[in-house]
């Protein structure tokens, strides 16, 4: 893998559902850390989209380990943890490296074989890169419903 700047995602895709098992294997990605808000769950939504649920189940069936590193609110993070059966902690403090390191240990694999997937450059790309991971920037599910600071940062980096 060629090392990129902390300011550039390793990959960009439109949606998490583009990250098929074969796509991950071709890029030597063995595990995923996932953001919740606007990556898996649109703002103000109370349930994961059926396509996202099917994608997560496909990862599980293919035995691709995944976890969550999210700054999301406790109620939203608990919903995703309950649906997936994967433990998740809210308010992770991204882009600081602590939550990334904790989840990498839980997955039990080297950080360079893990990709952080999220919709925010500052928290997901910078944080994942600083933690020694590949990063995958996805388009936000509902950009117009993101917090104003997030919308401004997205305009700067896209």
pLDDT digits (tens, 9 = 90+) for 63-110: 999 999 999 999 999 999 999 999 999 999 999 999 999 999 999 999
User: How many Å apart are CA 65 and CA 157, to the nearest integer?
Assistant: 29
Please compute the mean of the pLDDT values over residues 110-120 and round it to a whole number.
96
Number of Cβ within 10 Å of residue 30's Cβ equals: 16
3-state secondary structure at position 105: helix
**What pTM was computed for the model?**
0.88
Q: What percent of the chain has pLDDT over 70?
A: 86
Report all structural domains of the chain as residue ranges with CATH numbers, in order of start.
11-157 (3.40.50.1000)
Q: At residue 31, what are phi and psi to the nearest 5 degrees?
A: -150, 160
* pLDDT digit string, tens, across residues 126-136: 999 999 999 99
Question: Percentage of the chain surpassing pLDDT 90?
Answer: 82
Cis peptide before 95 (omega within 30 of 0): yes
């Amino acid at each position: 893998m060629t090392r990129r700047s902390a300011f550039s995602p390793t990959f960009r895709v439109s949606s998490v559902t583009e990250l098929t098992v074969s796509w991950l294997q071709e890029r030597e990605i063995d595990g995923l850390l996932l953001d919740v808000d606007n990556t898996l769950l649109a703002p103000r939504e109370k349930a994961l989209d059926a396509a996202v649920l099917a994608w997560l189940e496909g990862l599980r069936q293919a035995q691709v380990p995944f976890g969550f590193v999210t700054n999301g609110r406790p109620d939203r993070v608990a919903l995703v943890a309950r649906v997936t059966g994967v433990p998740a902690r809210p308010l992770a403090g991204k882009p600081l490296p602590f939550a990334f390191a904790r989840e990498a240990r839980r997955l039990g694999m080297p950080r360079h074989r893990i990709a952080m997937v999220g919709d925010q450059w500052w928290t997901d790309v910078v944080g994942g890169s600083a933690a020694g991971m590949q990063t995958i920037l996805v388009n936000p599910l509902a950009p117009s419903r993101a917090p104003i600071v997030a919308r401004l940062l997205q305009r700067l980096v896209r």
